[in-house]
Each structure stands twice: as C-alpha cells, then as structure tokens.
Amino acid sequence: MSTPGFDVRRVRADFPILHQEVRGRPLVYLDSAATGQKPQAVIDALTRFYTHDNANVHRGVHILSERATQAYEDARESVRRFINARDAKEIVFMRGTTEAINLVASTYGRKHVGPGDEVLISAMEHHSNIVPWQMVCDAVGAKLRVIPVDDRGELRMDAVDALLTERTRILAVTHVSNALGTVNPVRELVRRAHAKNIPVLLDGAQAVTHLPVDVQDLGCDFYAFSGHKLFGPTGIGVLYGRLDVLEAMPPYQGGGDMILSVTMEKTVYNRVPHRFEAGTPDMAGAVGLAAAIHYLESVGMAAIAAHDQALLTYATQALSAVPGLSLVGTASEKTGVLSFTLADVHPHDVGTILDREGVCIRTGHHCAQPLMKRFGVAATARASLAFYNTPEDVDALVRGLHKVREVFQ
C-alpha cells in the first residue's frame, strides 16, 4: 500500500515514542482517537518556550512577557489559518473540546434556550456533546432531541427536517464519530439548520486529525477541537465561533485578563476572544499546538487524508477476514476508526491480549454509551489510525487477534 506524495517512513521518524519496544515487541500504537502522539517538532517547541520565553502573557512590559505574548497570539493566527476562520478574534483557546462545548452550552445555551425549547444532537455523540446540553435542558426546562442512527452507523437524514422545529435553539453534532469513524454530512446539516435560522455547533475533535477543515466552507457557527488529538500538547484546545455570535455571548468564567476594568460596583468585560480566556492561559500549550499545526501543514493535510483513507481500506479488508469479528460502524463515509467485537470474547480481554503482543488499542464504551446501546453492545474494541500508522501495524493487529482467538478457543 502506498500513497503518492506521502512517505510514511519519513513521518514515523519524526515521532520518537514510536521507536521503542513494549513487552519485548515493537510498539504498535492504534489508539490515536484517544490521543495522538507528538512529533519531535512539538516536543522541541515546548522545550524552547520553557527554556527561553516562559512568562505570563498580556500583562508584562519586560522582554520575556513580550516574547511569550507574541508567541501566544501567533499561535492563535496559526489556528485561524489552519481552519480558515475569517478573523483571529474568532479563535478562543480552551482546555479542549469538552470545555469548548461547555462554554457554548453555558453561555450561548443558557442565554437562548428556555422552557419548552429544544436542543438537537445525534445518537452518535461523545458524552462531551451530550451531558452539557442535558444540564442546560434540565436547568431551564427544555428538551433534548436526538437524530437517530441507522444500522451502518450513518445519521438518519430523513429524520432531520422533522426534528428541526420552531422550538430548536441549536444543533450540536459531531463531524466525525469517535466510536464509529463515520464522517457526517455536516455541510448539509448546516444548510438545513440555517434554512430555519438555527445555529450549529460541530464537534471536530476527530475530524481535524484526518480531514482538511474549512469553517467558512462548512458554514458552522461553532467548531471545537482538542490539541492533544491533533498531535499537540494536552490541556489546550480551540473553540471557533463566528465573530458576531461570540460578541453577543456573555463571559464563561470570571477572573483576570477577561476584563477591561473592575470596580466593586461594576466590571467591564474584555473584547473577544479574551473575554472567554479568564486567568493565566496555557501559553506553552498554544505554542505546542501551533508547532503541531505547522508540522501537519508541512506534511500536507490532503496527503494525510489520502493516506488515512488508503490505510482504512486496507485495515477494513484485513479485519473483515478475521473469523468471528464483526465491525460496528460501516458507513460509506468513514475515517480513522475501526470498532469491532470478536465472537464471545469481551473487548477488555481482546485489549489485554493485544497489549501482550505490543499492540495498543482502546476498549470500552468510548464515552458514547447511548451509541453502544443503539448497537446492542456494552463495549467494543477500537483500533484508531493516524498518518504515522502503516500496513505492518494493521498486520500486527490481525496477528494479535488470531492470538486472541487461540487463547479463547
């Protein structure tokens, strides 16, 4: 298997963690949907920041603070360019996708959702895009409605129009399912929602690692993703919001840097995006995220997407040939994720035996318990691919699965 213009061996050389043995075997890392590994460029950027530039931002007149502030705001511009936002003010740094969705739910949601209103999500959402909306609905007396999923793991688009009603205040849906790999038709969802003046939030945590993302082309009002899944540091993430929407939203948290002036009688809030970034931000995380973005851009997102699709095709064929294995999620548009069950073997047992073979996968409900219930399983085994994975990694997974079968026979 080869992808024109893409050299996976060269890519792998940039990820030091991949060049090790675990349990006496070469490491095969197939858990990138949980967190991506870090290229040397990101590790070096973090070391360089802490070694040379570490200081708090926006508050100092000394040279280190000036350099740190410049690096932090340059990172915001890097994110803007990466997802093609119109303005760097539309980029809010968060701790991750979870906090970004909670911000929208707690500010936009609590301002616009009232008694008898509805919030529309899908049956394949991560808990991070379910629980915050449940909390809003419980607090104000609104109703959470759900777009169903068919047996292949695709959204029931025939049900969408009926679910988008005059009471719908926001549609919040994942771009790519973390548990199935389904790529949702988000442009069409945005089009239908906007036709009824309903704003749309997209959970892009899984999408940005596999697909070129252009928020202007998608047309969404909000887009959220995490740095650690994008091969950057943990503890940093992004909320994109249309500038006019963000400017009409109240702050999420109170504290330093989100203010212009404070008296005991009144506080005047800062401009967007700083209004939503209370306290000392993750400066190093932003710098590391920018380094990850620059690295991905140097490889090329189109080349990464082509390699991911070729590897997914190879892996789907290979796993489908394993006796007793059933794939969960067979959408026509997929990327990066293979969820499966293996005969009568519990997924945790599958994962434990694979670990002994040096193969790292994820097992469990993947923070998508309603989706597991929809498919009639308590858990699945999940192998998730990234652009540093190879056909040999897939072959090692298949050999490990045959080992699982031998043990349980």
Q: Residue by residue, what is the 3-state secondary structure of the chain? A: CCECCECHHHHHHCCHHHCCEECCEECEECECCCCCCCCHHHHHHHHHHHHHHCCCCCCCCCHHHHHHHHHHHHHHHHHHHHHCCCCHHHEEEECCHHHHHHHHHHHHHHHHCCCCCEEEEECCCCHHHCHHHHHHHHHHCCEEEEECECCCCCECHHHHHHHCCCCEEEEEEECECCCCCEECCHHHHHHHHHCCCCCEEEECCCCCCCCCCCHHHHCCCEEEEECHHHCCCCCCEEEEECHHHHHCCCCCCCCCCCEEEECCCCEEECCCCHHHCCCCCCHHHHHHHHHHHHHHHHHCHHHHHHHHHHHHHHHHHHHHCCCCEEECCCCCCECCEEEEEECCECHHHHHHHHHHCCEECEEECCCCHHHHHHCCCCCEEEEECCCCCCHHHHHHHHHHHHHHHHHHC
355 to 196, 234, 326, 335, 378: CA distances (angstroms): 49, 24, 20, 24, 21
Q: What is the pLDDT of residue 241?
A: 98
Residues 107 and 225 in one domain: yes
Co-location of 291 and 306 in the same domain: no
Classify residue 337: in a domain, yes or no: yes
Give the domain-ending residue among 276, 297, 318.
297
Indicate whether 365 belongs to any domain.
yes
pLDDT band at 253 (very low <50, low <70, confident <90, very high): very high
- Is 337 found in the same domain as 281? no
Is residue 400 situated within a structural domain?
Answer: yes
pLDDT at site 100? 98
Per-residue pLDDT, 352: 98
Q: Look at residue 255 and tell me if it is in a domain.
A: yes
35 located within any domain:
no
95 and 206 both lie in a single domain: yes
pLDDT per residue as tens digits for the range 26-60: 999 999 999 999 999 999 999 999 999 999 999 88
Q: Which structure tokens are listed for 342?
A: 């293996």
pLDDT at 3 over 90: no
Query: Looking at 297, 313, 329, which one is the last position of a domain?
Result: 297
Q: What pTM, to 2 d.p., does this model score?
A: 0.97
**269 and 160 in a common domain:** yes
Range of lowest pLDDT (2-16, 40-54, 318-332)? 2-16
Is 240 in the same domain as 359?
no
Domain of 100, CATH number, reads 3.40.640.10
Instruction: Centre a 10 Å sphere on the Cβ of residue 144 and count the other Cβ atoms it contains.
Output: 15
**Same domain assignment for residues 146 and 26:** no
User: What is the predicted pLDDT for the residue at 43?
Assistant: 98
pLDDT reported for residue 409: 83
Please indicate, yes or no, if residue 362 is contained in any of the structural domains.
yes
Same domain? For 132 and 180 the reply is yes
Q: Is the pLDDT of residue 14 over 80?
A: yes
Give the pLDDT of residue 180. Answer: 98
Is 80 exceeded by the pLDDT of residue 2? no
Per-residue pLDDT reduced to its tens digit, 344-359? 999 999 999 999 999 9
* Strand 25-26 with 21-22, pairing: antiparallel
pLDDT on residue 4: 79
Of the three residues 297, 321, 342, the one that is the final residue of a domain is 297
Tell me, yes or no, whether 37 lies in a domain.
no
Q: pLDDT tens across 277-320, in order?
A: 999 999 999 999 999 999 999 999 999 999 999 999 999 999 99
The answer to the question of residue 2 being in a domain is no
| 188 and 90 share one domain | yes
Mean of pLDDT over the chain: 97
pLDDT band, residue 239 (cuts 50/70/90): very high
19 & 125 share domain: no
Residue 321 belongs to a domain with what CATH number? 3.90.1150.10
Number of domains in the chain: 2
Share of the chain above pLDDT 90, in %: 97
Q: 340 and 365: one domain?
A: yes
Q: The domain containing residue 203 runs over which residues?
A: 43-297
Residues 349 and 379 in one domain: yes
Over residues 175-201, mean pLDDT: 98
pLDDT computed for residue 26 by the predictor:
96
Task: Catalogue the active-site residues.
Answer: 367
pLDDT given at position 5 = 79
Q: Average pLDDT for residues 402-406, to the nearest whole number?
A: 96
